[in-house]
């Protein structure tokens, strides 16, 4: 968490307060890496020794979603070009 606790102690009202993923992870007793929040691009050079689907699930899910989105755009373009 950030410095919100210092503001609370001084009596300031925090309007948009939320809980971070890191805080939830600390409460569960697991690191962010164990919960699937490792960065695939950062660990690219040492990927052979670190790779597991559980460790990079957020990155792999985002990459898969991006691939599906790009394929959908290409298919839409092919469909539109075949109309005319």
Could you tell me the residue range of the domain that residue 14 belongs to? 4-83
28-77 residue pLDDT tens: 666 666 666 677 666 767 777 777 777 778 888 988 999 999 999 999 99
Strands (E), 1-84: none
The count of domains in the chain is 1
Total-model pTM: 0.51
Q: Is residue 71 classed exposed, middle or buried when 0-12, 13-18 and 19+ CB atoms within 10 A define those classes? A: exposed
């Amino acid at each position: 968490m950030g410095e919100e606790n210092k503001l609370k102690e001084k009596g300031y009202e925090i309007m948009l307060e939320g809980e971070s993923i890191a805080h939830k992870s600390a409460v569960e007793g697991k690191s962010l890496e164990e919960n699937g929040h490792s960065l695939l691009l950062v660990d690219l050079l040492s990927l052979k020794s670190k790779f597991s689907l559980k460790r990079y699930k957020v990155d792999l899910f985002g990459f898969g979603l991006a691939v599906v989105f790009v394929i959908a755009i290409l298919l839409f373009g092919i469909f539109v070009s075949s109309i005319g």
